[in-house]
Amino acid sequence: MFVCSAAAACKPASTETAADVRIVNTTPRCEKIGVVEGAGGNAQHARNDALEQAAERGATHIVLESAHPDLEDGMTIVVTGTIFACPPPGEQFPPDGYP
């Protein structure tokens, strides 16, 4: 649950697994948590790694970039994603009274 009040900062809804993180194509109107970088032997593994990192950080949504080879070794595939904590339906961000 996304908890917000005028007296306390918003706390993101927690996600338990990578499957709980919603992949979106446009930036949602939610709190930006940061960026994750998934890596793997192919694009699917890199994507899954990014989703797992997003879930560990409590993200509810992620905007993924295109997969590309790691410039250092050329063998590993990397996927970068911007992660967000969005309130459940019916709640708004930012909440009333939020600075």
Report pLDDT digits (tens) over 32-52: 999 999 999 999 999 999 999
Torsion angle (degrees, nearest 10) of CA 43, 55, 82, 41: -20
Secondary structure class of 96 (helix, strand, coil): coil
- Domain 18-85 falls in which CATH fold? Translation Initiation Factor IF3 (3.30.110)
pLDDT tier, 72 (very low <50, low <70, confident <90, very high otherwise): confident
Cα–Cα distance measured from residue 50 to residue 78, given in angstroms and rounded to the nearest whole number: 9
What local confidence, expressed as pLDDT, does residue 2 receive?
42
